[in-house]
């Protein structure tokens, strides 16, 4: 693949210029065009056929959500959403539902120093987006949840799941397949900025039979419920003297590239539940989850990874599989069934 042809869409001339300078720092990226709104961007994408589009969320003529929706209906292209405020969380999630690959939170102050802080992340995500499959529907329609009678005995006591880029779309497909009598707790780490996890948990719960909520300090880990780790804090487990396992939230360790970290979640699950842990590593950049998977395997637990063809970004699952830690590579369309079998 040659240089990554990129189009920048933003209604601020200053932001367009700054983002162009940021992306031009990478010899692998070529900014081929800039548009000031979604309407102009639709025409530009048709003319220039870019590999990736970065798009502002709030614009006057046609906003980011509208652009993503119309562009995906015309011709799918990897789109990164740039959001200026955590208050835009619901709109960001809507753009992801329509097919945007990922999003980046802009600094609150649009000064040069603030914007340049996001340069590394932006370049990494543009490179990753260029590898994403260009499909009008990355995932098939969500199937109707099948009846899953409560099991009196299971081979595992908890399912822990780690996911990043492409995660919102994947979870919107996977979780609604589980019914409210899911026999063990489901605990999820999804890499997202602060505020977004609460909004996503709420949206996911609306479309699922299995209740989904953002985890809180001290909440009890119980079957028939999915907990989403809050952005900005690691999620671990603590078994109380009375018996039930509770959630602990902390900023420690601070040396992890992600908070929450899949590695931290998986390690704590292995330490708390021993060999009765099922870990699932799904689409995402990087290798978060590899060390945690090793902890689960060392205790005798099981690891499933999403297969390459159904991932938006085959990074995290690849790192686990190539380390020899995966007990099976599973299509997203088969993941709910495979998890059920492993229970």
- 91 a catalytic residue: no
Which of 83, 164, 261, 326 is an active site residue? 164
pLDDT value at position 138? 47
What digits encode the pLDDT tens for the residues 22-40? 999 999 999 999 999 999 9
Catalytic residue list contains 10: no
The pLDDT of residue 234: 97
pLDDT confidence of residue 195: 85
Q: Report the largest interatomic distance among the alpha carbons of the chain, rounded to a whole angstrom.
A: 65
Q: What is the pLDDT of residue 142?
A: 57
pLDDT, position 134:
65
Whether residue 220 has a cis bond before it, omega within 30° of 0: no
Domains 4-130 and 158-342 belong to one CATH topology: yes
- Which of 88, 288, 307, 319 is labelled catalytic? 288
- Structural class in CATH, domain 158-342: alpha beta
Report, at the CATH architecture level, how domain 4-130 is classified: 3-Layer(aba) Sandwich (3.40)
Tens-digit pLDDT profile for residues 70-85: 999 999 999 999 987 7
- Examine the residue annotation and report whether 88 is marked as an active-site residue of this protein: no
Tell the residue number behind the tokens 């870019």, with chain if given: 50
Residue whose token pair is 């948990």: 201
Angle at 175 between CA 171 and CA 176, to 5 degrees: 120
Ranges of residues in the chain whose predicted pLDDT is under 70: 1, 107-116, 134-153
Q: Which of 91, 191, 234, 258 is catalytic?
A: 191
Question: Is the bond preceding residue 337 a cis peptide, omega within 30 degrees?
Answer: no
Domain boundaries along the sequence of the chain: 4-130, 158-342
CB atoms within 10 A of CB 283: 26
The pLDDT value recorded for residue 144 is: 52
Question: Whole-prediction pTM value?
Answer: 0.90
């Amino acid at each position: 693949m040659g240089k990554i042809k990129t189009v920048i869409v933003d209604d601020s001339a200053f932001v367009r210029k700054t983002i162009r300078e940021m992306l031009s720092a990478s010899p692998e990226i070529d900014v081929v065009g800039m548009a000031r709104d979604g309407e102009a961007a639709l025409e530009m994408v048709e003319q220039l056929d870019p590999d990736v589009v970065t798009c502002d969320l709030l614009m006057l003529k046609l906003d980011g959500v509208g652009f993503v929706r119309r562009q995906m209906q015309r011709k799918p292209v990897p789109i990164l959403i740039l959001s200026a405020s955590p208050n835009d969380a619901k709109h960001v999630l809507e753009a992801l539902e329509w097919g945007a690959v990922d999003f980046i939170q802009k600094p609150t102050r649009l000064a040069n120093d603030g914007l340049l802080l996001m340069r590394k992340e932006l370049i990494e995500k543009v490179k990753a987006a260029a590898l994403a499959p260009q499909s009008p529907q990355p995932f098939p329609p969500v199937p109707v949840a099948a009846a899953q009678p409560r099991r009196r005995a299971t081979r595992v006591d908890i399912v822990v799941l780690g996911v990043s880029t492409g995660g919102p779309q994947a979870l919107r497909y996977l979780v609604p397949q589980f019914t409210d009598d899911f026999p063990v707790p489901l605990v999820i780490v999804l890499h997202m900025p602060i505020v977004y996890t609460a909004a996503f948990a709420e949206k996911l719960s609306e479309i699922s039979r299995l209740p989904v909520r953002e985890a809180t300090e001290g909440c009890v880990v119980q079957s028939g419920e999915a907990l989403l780790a809050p952005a900005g804090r690691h999620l671990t487990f603590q078994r109380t003297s009375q018996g039930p396992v509770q959630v602990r939230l902390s900023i420690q360790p601070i040396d992890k590239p992600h908070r929450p970290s899949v590695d931290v979640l998986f390690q704590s699950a292995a330490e708390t539940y021993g060999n009765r842990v099922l870990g699932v590593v799904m689409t995402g950049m990087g290798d978060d989850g590899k060390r945690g998977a090793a902890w689960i395997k060392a205790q005798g637990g099981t690891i499933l990874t999403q297969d390459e063809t159904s991932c938006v970004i085959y990074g995290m699952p690849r790192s686990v599989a190539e380390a020899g830690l995966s007990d099976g590579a599973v299509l997203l369309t088969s993941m709910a069934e495979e998890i059920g079998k492993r229970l």
